[in-house]
Amino acid sequence: MKQLLATAALGLLLSACQVVGPDYKLPDKAAVNRGDLQGQIAGEGNNVVSAPVPADWWKLYKDPRLDELVRQAMASNTDLRVAAANLQRARFQTQQAESAGGWSLGAKAEAQRLQESGEAFLLTEKVPVGNIGSVGITTSYQFDLFGTLQRGIESAQASADAAQAAADIARITLVADVVRSYTQVCAANEELAIANESLDLQAQSTKLTQRLRDAGRGDETQVTRSQTQYKSLRADMPRYQALRQAGLFRLSMLLAKPVDQLPAGTGTCAELPHIAQLLPVGDGAALLKRRPDVRQAERQLAAATARIGVATGALYPDISIGATVGTVGLLDDLGTAPTNRWGFGPMISWTVPTNGARARVHEAEAATQGALAHFDGVVLNAIRETQTGLAQYTAQLQRRDALAEAGESAKEAAGQTHRFFQAGRASFLADLQATRTYTDVRAQLAAANTQVAMSQIDLFLALGGGWESGRTHASQPGKP
């Protein structure tokens, strides 16, 4: 009884020991705490508003076909399946860390026909051959003396959180790729239609130039120049068709299904997805909380900090309390008093630390400094990507607006020239040229609209929204 009480007292004493290694705390000097990164990220007049970024930003386009593409991609994309498998593995690693230490139980039973060595028992004669058996049950409780196991759990949990953030990164990247590919298909179809109009107009211009030449009112140089322009326009047609097919093939890969099984109308979409409101971009503080790569880097820093404690704990002994109950002897006598055995008491194991063990502590400390530097870099890059995306989006909008004004002027000029032609005050060739000029500006405007749409997607990707809607209770059991 005295030994039992002494062992229990030792356990209570050990449980009160200090946890080794530093407790994780976000450093005050971390870039994420900088005040200049917390405020607004967009000024006035940039066609954006500091409103919260919606979780499902692609629904701002109000395009049911696009919504269906995203939904199917979320359900079957191979990158998301890989990310989900990595997350599940990280969670099992956490369970493994949580099950380390504490109580353990073992059982063993064996039987054998045995010839023991007589000299092993200080006998000169031969020991008889016998049927020997043993049955035993052992149990032990390992005390987390210096919190080494606790630090291991903290590291595993932080790594699992980082894996969750990686899955969120894969999700927002997937959404952006789906929207971008769909936009590419729509843009290619729209630009192809305008290019066909330009080609038809150039064909009419070439025929008219040939008739004027045949009538003696033109020369061969004008005909050759017109034919060259026609051939140049015709040579550009496959480019739009290739862009359309590339977009469809990309969607096929993202949704993991054949092109002919994509939602109806995907391949014939001829109008760009359009957001009829100011883009919500939030502020810097919300951005840094929302972006999963920032959260991933912060969790990696937490895991690296916990690993310092794991490495430090290896310098100290492990103490546990164990008990054994069993029976060993001749098979016929198993379970009788002479064969029964039991034991109870503390067990101490300690590997004397070497220079290599201490070097591992310093290695973990250096890894933590590297993780902090990486975290700061991710934070600064998040702000840079967002500011760059805003600048590019603003520039593309300005270019599109300028081309829209040019398009209005070209349209007005084409209308005036056509009225003059109807009144006999302008030639048919001049009418064709004015219409072709207007069509060329329309083509430039269509390309500019495509660039604006792509810039919107890049901006939403930089803002880091979209992963919230993709989470399900199946992918994150036990959490809301």
pLDDT at 42: 66
Nearest partner of 177 among 74, 254, 244, judged by Cα: 254
**Residue 76 counted as domain residue:** yes
pLDDT at 46: 63
**Residue 15 counted as domain residue:** no
For the full predicted model, state whether its pTM sits above 0.85.
no
pLDDT at 220: 82
Cβ(319)–Cβ(346) under 8 Å? yes
Residues 183 and 282 occupy one common structural domain: yes
CATH of the domain at 346: 2.20.200.10
Residues 219 and 347 occupy one common structural domain: no
Residue type, 92: F
Residue 40 to residue 43: CA distance in whole angstroms: 7
Residue type, 222: Q
**In which residue ranges of the chain is pLDDT below 50?**
5, 12, 14, 16, 472-480
**Residue 224 counted as domain residue:** yes
Residues 138 and 154 occupy one common structural domain: no
pLDDT at 477: 35
**Could you give the number of structural domains in the chain?**
2
Phi-psi region of 336 (alpha: psi -120 to 50; beta: other; left: phi over 0): beta
pLDDT at 17: 59
pLDDT at 84: 93
Residues 198 and 227 occupy one common structural domain: yes
Nearest partner of 315 among 174, 480, 146, judged by Cα: 146
In this structure, what are the phi and psi dihedrals at residue 45, rounded to the nearest 5 degrees?
Answer: 80, 15
Residues 130 and 256 occupy one common structural domain: no
SS3 call for 350: coil
For the chain, the farthest-separated pair of C-alpha atoms sits apart, in whole angstroms, at 136
Strand order in the sheet with 340-349: 102-114, 130-143, 318-330, 340-349
Neighbours of 447 (CB within 10 A): 17
Residues 273 and 386 occupy one common structural domain: yes
Structural domain range at position 127: 103-143+317-352
Site of tokens 């140049």: 232
Nearest partner of 394 among 43, 46, 45, 40, judged by Cα: 46
CATH of the domain at 425: 1.20.1600.10
